[in-house]
Structure 1
C-alpha cells in the first residue's frame, strides 16, 4: 500500500491498487490496511499526506470513522497548504459539523478557516460579523439564499464589500454568487452586479466569473454582458475574462448583436458544433425502397433513412398494408429520434386526422436536450400543418432561463440549449413563416 500511495496510483480512478485499498478499509476499519493508511497521514512526504487525505475523503461517506476525523483535525495545522485544505474538507465530510465549527472559531489560519466555512455551507450563516472576509462572504451568501426580497440589497452591499478580500482565499467567488442569484430569479440584479464588479478596481475577475455564470443560466445574459466584458478587457484579457467571453460567444444572439465588438478582443470563441457531414441523404427509388422494407420485419423498431425510404414510396403512391404497419411501428412504438423523423411521414400517409395524435406525442419532448432538436425538425417538416404546436414551440423560444441539461461542461450544456433554441426558431419559421400566429418574432435579448 505504501508504494501505491507514494506513486499516486492509490488515488487514480479505477486503478486496481485504489480499489484494493478502498475495499480492504471498507471491509475492516480496524484492520491492517486501515491502520496503516491512518499512519501514513503523518508521513514526512507532503505528497503522501495529500494522497491519504484524498483517500480518507473517499471513504468518509461509508459511515462514522472517529479515527479518520481525529487524523483530519491533526492535519489542520500541517505545513503543506494542500494537506490543510483537504483535511478541513475531511473534517466536515466525516459528519463532525460541531467539531468543524469549533475549529473554525479557534483557528487563525485563513486558508483552513475559509475551507471549513465553505464546506459547512448553511451552518455558517450566523458568522456574518466574522473577522475574516471570506467567512463573512460565505455567511452573507448563505443568508441570501433564504432571505426575503427586502433584505437582498443590504446583503448585496455586504457581499460587494467583502468580495475582493474573500477571493484571496476562496475560489470562484463570482460563480458562487451567481448561482445563488439565479436560484432567487434575480436576473436584472445579476447584470447590474456583474457590471459593477467588472468596472471596480480589482474586482473585474470576480465580475467576469459572475458574468460567465449568468451566461450559463440566462439566455439574455450574453447579449447584455458581452459588450461589458469586451470593453473592460481591451487588449489585455485575464483568464477569467477569457473564459467568460468564450461562454458568451456561444450565444448566437450575442454574436449577431455584438460580433464586431467581440472581434476586437483577443479571446477564443467557443467552437462551432459540427453538424451533419453536409452530404445530402441518400435517395431511393420506389423499387429499392420496397425491396429494403420487404427484407425487414413488420415490427421493425429502427431504420436508417426511414423518412427518405417511405417518402420514395409515397411519391409513387399509397403504401401497402405491410409497409404502413412498418411505418406505424417506427412512428408509435417508442419516443426518440426515429419517432420524430417518421411522424411527418405518417402524417403524409394517414392525412390530417392523424395530426392531433402526432402532436400529442411530439410536443412533450421539445425541450428534452437529447431528442428535442429532432422533434422540432419534425414539426418543421410538417410546416403549417403543425400550427397547433406553435404555442409549445413559442414557449420554448420565450424561456428566460437555459434548459436544464447534463453534459460534460457548463459550456457544453449552454451550447445544447442554444441548439434547441435555434431548432425552435427554425421550426417556428417553417410553421408560421409570416409570423401571423405569434406575437414573438425573435428570442428575448434583454432583461426584464
Structure 2
C-alpha cells in the first residue's frame, strides 16, 4: 500500500494486510507512536480505515478504548477522533465506544471520549448525552465541548444558563458574553460571578481554563475596563477561594491581551503574594513574573518573598529569581549564583546571567567554575548553555579557554568523521565564545586556523574569532574577498564590518560591499548591517536607511535591533517617529506568534521598552 501526501511523491508504508494484525495496531497505540504525524504506520491505519470503515482495524481501536491503562485509552479515543474527520455523519462503532467511556475514571479520557462523540455522532448526539448523563464531570466536559469546541456551529448557550450544575451555567454565561449585546452585559456579569461563588469544583486546570475563556470573551467585546474590574473583584474574594484562583487566571489573560493591565492588576496580585495561602500565592507569583512590567511593579514584594522560599532550587524561588534578573534587578544576583552553584542550569539561566551583566552584579569568579563544569559534561544542551554564558562574559571567561578548546576539538572530530559540510550550531557557538574572550584565548588560534567549515547563518565567523583574538585585520579582509556559497539568502556578516570599523575602518571596496549586502535585499543582514552603514557613512545614508528600517519595527526579533540603530542616528531618525509612536500608543499586544501567549506578551513588552528608549534618544 502507498501513502500519498498532496504535492509529494508516494512513499512506502506498511500494507493494509500488515496493519490488520492486532499486534501491530496495539503496539503503536500502546507506545503512542500512532499519533505521530507522517508516521508510516499511522498512514497505513488511515488507509485501512478508509478502505473499510468498520473493518478489523476499527474494531481493534475500539477494543483498545477499554484498555486498563488510561494513556492507551486516550490514544485510542484520540486516533478514532482523527479518523472521524471528513467521515460519514454517524459512525456507529466509535459512537458507542465514546458513549461507553463517558464515565471513564480518567478525566482526560472522558474529555477525549466527548470529542469523539461529537466528531462521530454530531452535536445532537452530544446534546442528548448532556441531557441524560448522570455524572456531573462528564456533563461538564460535554458542555465545554458544545460551547467552546465548535467554532463554526456552537451550541446556543442560552438554555444552558439554567442547567442544574453551576459549572455549566457559568460556562454558558462566559460563552454568551462573547457576543451578547451591551444591554445584557450587566446581568451576564452578575450571574457569572454568582455561579462561580457557588462552585464546589477545586480543579486547578479548570480554573485556568475558566479564567482564560472569560478573558477571551471580554476581549472579543473590547471590554478592557470591565475585565479589570471583574478580575479585581475576584482577586479580593467576592466569589470565594476558588473564585480567587479563577481571578488570577483572568488577570493573567488580561496581562496577555492589554498593555495597561499590569498597572491595573499588579497591585491586587501583589496583595495575594503577601497574604494568600502558599498555593494561591505561588499562582499569583507565576502570573506577575510572566510579565516584565508586572514584575517591575511588584518587585519589592517578589524580592521580599525570596528568603521565605527556603530551598534555592524550588520552582517558586527560580520563577522570582529569573523574573527579577531579566528586568535587571540587582537583588536577583545572590539567588542566581546560588542556583547555578547547586546543580544543572535551570531553564532561562542564560537570560538570567545576561540580566546580571546588565545590572553590573554578575560575579565572573563564581560563574567561571560553573561554565567549565558544563563544558566538561559533554551534554549537548549544557555545552550550548556554557558557550552562551562564556560569550556574554567575554574576557572575564578567560579561565574557561582550556575547556572551550577541548569541547571545540571534540565537536570538530565528530563532525569530520560524519563528513559534515557546514558548521553546526555548537561549533559556531564555541568559536564565537573563544573570539569574544579575545587575546587570552590565544591558545585556540592553531585549532581555529585549521577549521574549514563555514556557517549558513554567520559567514566569516571563524575569521572574526581569529581577528578578535589576534587583533589582526587580514583574517576578516580575506573572508570578505570571497563570496558565500549560500545562495538562498544573504548570511549575516555585520559583525565583520563592525569589527573593521573599530580597527581602522573600511576600505572603499568593503564600503561598497557593505552597501550591497544591506540594501540589495531584506532580511537579517539588512537589519544587523544597517548600524555599520550608519557608522561608516553617517547622515549621508540616513535617507536610505529610513526607507528600509521602519518595516521591521513591529518584529519581535528585528525590531529592537532596528530601534538601536535609529537611536544611534539621533535627530536624523526623526522621520521614523510617527511609526514609533504608533507602536507605543497601541492598547493591545502585538501578535508575534512567539510560541505561547506569555512569550508574545514578553516580546511585546521588550519591543515597547525599546521603542520608548528610541523615541527618547531621537527627541533628546
Q: TM-score, normalised by structure 1?
A: 0.83
Q: d(CA) in 1 for partners of 2:304 and 2:478?
A: 58
Of stretches 204-213 and 24-33 in structure 1, the one that deviates more from structure 2 is 24-33
CA 1:369/1:80 → structure 2, altered by over 3 Å: closer, same or farther? closer
Q: d(CA) in 2 for partners of 1:72 and 1:93?
A: 10
CA 1:217/1:206 → structure 2, altered by over 3 Å: closer, same or farther? same
2:151 maps to none
- Is residue 2:295 matched to residue 1:255? yes
Q: d(CA) in 2 for partners of 1:398 and 1:135?
A: 39
1:191 maps to 228
Q: Given that residues 273 and 302 in structure 2 are in contact (C-alpha distance below 8 angstroms), is that contact kept between their aligned partners in structure 1?
A: no
- Is residue 2:532 matched to residue 1:345? yes
CA 1:250/1:57 → structure 2, altered by over 3 Å: closer, same or farther? same
CA 1:167/1:124 → structure 2, altered by over 3 Å: closer, same or farther? farther
1:219 Cα deviation after fit:
2.3
CA 1:407/1:166 → structure 2, altered by over 3 Å: closer, same or farther? farther
Which one of 120, 131, 138 corresponds to residue 171 of structure 2? 138
- Is residue 2:175 matched to residue 1:60? no
Q: Which has the higher contact order (CA 8 A, sep 6+)?
A: 1
- Is residue 2:490 matched to residue 1:301? yes
Where is the helix percentage greater, Structure 1 or Structure 2?
2
1:50 maps to 74
1:222 maps to 262
1:25 maps to 49
User: What does residue range 131-280 of structure 1 map to in structure 2 within 5 Å?
Assistant: 131-165=164-198, 168=201, 170-171=206-207, 172-200=209-237, 201-202=240-241, 203-234=243-274, 236-239=276-279, 241-265=281-305, 267=316, 268-269=319-320, 270-271=322-323, 272=326, 273=351, 275=354, 277-279=392-394
Q: d(CA) in 2 for partners of 1:355 and 1:260?
A: 43
Structure 2: stretches of 5+ with no match in the other structure: 1-21, 148-153, 310-315, 327-350, 355-390, 396-435, 437-463
Q: Given that residues 274 and 301 in structure 2 are in contact (C-alpha distance below 8 angstroms), is that contact kept between their aligned partners in structure 1?
A: no
Q: Given that residues 289 and 312 in structure 1 are in contact (C-alpha distance below 8 angstroms), is that contact kept between their aligned partners in structure 2?
A: no
Of stretches 196-205 and 263-272 in structure 1, the one that deviates more from structure 2 is 263-272
- Is residue 2:610 matched to residue 1:423? yes
Of stretches 41-50 and 398-407 in structure 1, the one that deviates more from structure 2 is 41-50
1:159 Cα deviation after fit:
0.8
CA 1:192/1:264 → structure 2, altered by over 3 Å: closer, same or farther? farther
2:545 maps to 358
Partner deviation per Cα, 1:76-132 (whole Å, 9 max, x = no partner): 344655433321122223360122122222223221221111111231412222222
CA 1:183/1:356 → structure 2, altered by over 3 Å: closer, same or farther? farther
CA RMSD of aligned residues (A): 3.2
Q: d(CA) in 2 for partners of 1:328 and 1:305?
A: 14
Q: TM-score, normalised by structure 2?
A: 0.62
CA 1:329/1:27 → structure 2, altered by over 3 Å: closer, same or farther? farther
Corresponding pairs, count:
430
Partner deviation per Cα, 1:305-359 (whole Å, 9 max, x = no partner): 144156358x647x52x43442223212332332112223334555645433422
Of stretches 365-374 and 301-310 in structure 1, the one that deviates more from structure 2 is 301-310
User: What does residue range 59-138 of structure 1 map to in structure 2 within 5 Å?
Assistant: 59-64=83-88, 66-67=91-92, 68-78=94-104, 81-94=107-120, 96-121=122-147, 122-127=154-159, 128-138=161-171
CA 1:262/1:79 → structure 2, altered by over 3 Å: closer, same or farther? closer
Partner deviation per Cα, 1:383-411 (whole Å, 9 max, x = no partner): 22111112222222333222212233332
- Is residue 2:564 matched to residue 1:390? no
2:589 maps to 402
Q: Given that residues 266 and 298 in structure 2 are in contact (C-alpha distance below 8 angstroms), is that contact kept between their aligned partners in structure 1?
A: yes
CA 1:58/1:166 → structure 2, altered by over 3 Å: closer, same or farther? farther
1:381 maps to 568
CA 1:360/1:153 → structure 2, altered by over 3 Å: closer, same or farther? farther
2:600 maps to 413
